[in-house]
Structure 1
Amino acid sequence: MLKEVPCLIIKADDINASYEAAVAENPANRVASASRRGKRAVARHTRFWAPGRTLRIAFLDGDQTFKDATIAAANHWLPHINLKFDFVEGHEGDIRISCTPGTYWSLVGTDALLQEEEPTMGLSPDLRAPAFFAANVMHEFGHVLGAQHEHLHPETTIPWDRGAFYAAHGVDEHSDEDHYVRTVLDGHYLQRLDASDVRYSTYDPKSIMHYAIRQEWTHGDFKIDLNLVLSEKDKAFMAEAYPYPAENE
């Protein structure tokens, strides 16, 4: 199994500003209909871009090899969505990528519009392991397109061995719940999204949005190796989020 690097979702400081930006970009973000449950867990208002638009994606730094590898990986999403990516240099972009060794992070969807010149995504240049790097880029671009983490799906049945999981990360299982490292671990891995706050359908262990889960962290023989490619459900979900106009329109 390739070494996992958990990514960090950067949440908007102002939920009202997040809502306003999302709805201004795409009015369909206003309501998450209970009768049309999408695959991916999302917040009470969705953060999808307007279908048919071009996302301008700026590289703030990084060498050409890093940029070329990022573009190649991100473009795996394009056959499944009615969006275009325009990769540029400088600070003028809807999405702004920073080369951040050792970390992967992103804002989710239209929350990127709340930033002005700061980065909206960070990618570690792990180019000695091309498949690993590409998987992480596709994962972060899943967040850019509006997806959340699949292992936090409200209906996951991951048989966590919490004692072993905490111990593997140097934390006492009986430590206070506000212990900093425990809080971080819970947020990254254990705190499932509330079903009343999200849209979802079936859990997808093959999703590019799923963390790797080591067997020694769970009871029995359950494990999830790092998913290296988009799953069929990833593709179907994004195709529904970013549809092409009907032929008779």
Structure 2
Amino acid sequence: MAKKTSKPTPSEGGATHPHYCSMIPIPERQFEPDVSPNRQRMILVTDRKWVNGTKLKYYFFNGPSDGSPSSWKGTTAQKNTVIQAFKIWKDLGIGLEFEETNDKNEAQVRIGFKRGDGAWSYVGRDVIDIASSPNERTMNFGWDISNDLDTALHEIGHTLGAPHEHQNPNAGIVWDEEAVYTALAAPPNRWDRQTTFFNIIRKIPANEVQGSTHDPNSIMHYPFEAGLILEPVAYRNGINPAGGLSSKDKEFMKQFYPPLTTSDYTELKVSASQLFNIKAGEQKNFRFKPTVSRKYTIETFGRMDTLMVLFEKTAAEEVYLAGDDDSGTGLNSKIQLRLIQGREYVIRVRLYYAEVAGSGSLMVY
């Protein structure tokens, strides 16, 4: 994790090192040759983000009663730390919702507390695209986080789509690589060289990075002791993030998940095209109330890449029905589903890339 509030663990040589978050390696996305580098960059900056307005339900594994190992069960204090961290993210005013559920089958975020398995989370929509089984963890805390709020904030940051900030290629960090490998091989992490390379020394591809500046105070940044960084000179004595969410953390999340209001919605009518007038990374929201129960097609049109998600609005919440991601293909997003007269549906469309600004549209027919 990025920072620990408790004292670092001493190694056999007397040095102290913090616990670090160990990400799960995911193969890099591959594109067809006709997808231009600029189009790839616009897709990769956004492709793991949720559509704004999504409610993420989280579940704590409880041991044999739910079919999971007893080692995945956390204490009440640990769970309360995670719940508090979700509240801190929500209190920024972002457009996502978080809700604890006792049903792992309806949870997107499934949390375990297996000691010795490190702290980690899948990034953004990898939670559902890769860790799709309800019996799989999407997040784990491998040490006692009862008094370690920053660890919980960090892992939830990954779930919201944020990568490790110290791997930002714009940071300009030049490592003393052998010193890093030695430090991470010591307790409490005991990482092999491959794990250390993937989580620290490896740079995130530039086309996946939003913005151009490095934030050493980000909740997504590890602390580093003196002697691990060669350049910039200012970091030779180490980096110690301030703790909590930085101003740039807040700005980053609000950019992708701004608060939603009733004025953010456009009413859809059957066979009436609605033009897009949004920038890459932004989102447009629609409402549709069928007057006839039948199978409908909801489709985007134009040379653009989008993520489209359909929800049914109930008295309590928006229930996910279907989604389609057409990014990097020659296709358009399309959902075909039977919709019921008198019910209200919400369609959320996030734009990755458009060949010509304002050239796309959406239609239900």
Give the TM-score of the pair, scaled to structure 1: 0.76
Instruction: Give 1:123 shift.
Output: 1.4
Matched, 1:184 2:156: no
Aligned in 2, Cα 1:140/1:127: closer, same or farther, shift over 3 Å? closer
Q: Deviations over 1:24-47 (max 9, x none)?
A: xxxxxx9754xxxxxxxx945521
Structure 1 unaligned segments of length 5 or more: list them: 20-29, 34-41, 172-179
Query: Aligned with 1:86: secondary structure?
Result: strand
Larger helix share, 1 or 2: 1
In the alignment, what sits opposite 1:8? 22
1:100 aligns with 2:114: yes
The residue aligned with 1:56 is 57
Amino acid paired to 1:70 = V
Note the alpha carbon deviations across 1:147-199, whole angstroms, 9 max, x for none.
0000000111224222332343459xxxxxxxx92222111111111213443
C-alpha RMSD over aligned residues: 2.8
> 1:66: which partner in 2?
78
Which residue identity does 1:8 align to in structure 2?
S
Structure 2 unpaired stretches of 5+: 9-17, 32-38, 63-73, 265-365
Choose between structure 1 and 2 for higher RCO, CA contacts under 8 A separated by at least 6 residues: 1
Counterparts of 1:159-170 in structure 2 under 5 Å? 159-169=174-184
Distance across 1 between alignment mates of 2:260 and 2:184: 48
Query: Aligned runs of 1:66-145 on 2, under 5 Å?
Result: 66-80=78-92, 81-92=94-105, 93-102=107-116, 103-114=118-129, 115-117=132-134, 118-127=136-145, 130=147, 133-145=148-160
Contact kept? 2:44, 2:208, Cα under 8 Å: yes
Alignment identity in percent?
A: 31
Q: Which residue of 1 aligns with 2:259?
A: 244
The residue type equivalent to 1:83 in the other structure is L
TM-score of the superposed pair, with normalisation by structure 2: 0.54
Change (3 A) 1:218 1:198: closer
Specify whether residues 79 and 213 from structure 1 end up closer, same or farther in structure 2 by C-alpha distance, changes over 3 A only: same
Count of matched residue positions in the alignment of Structure 1 and Structure 2: 218
Residue 251 of structure 2 corresponds to residue 229 of structure 1: no
Specify which structure has the higher proportion of strand. 2
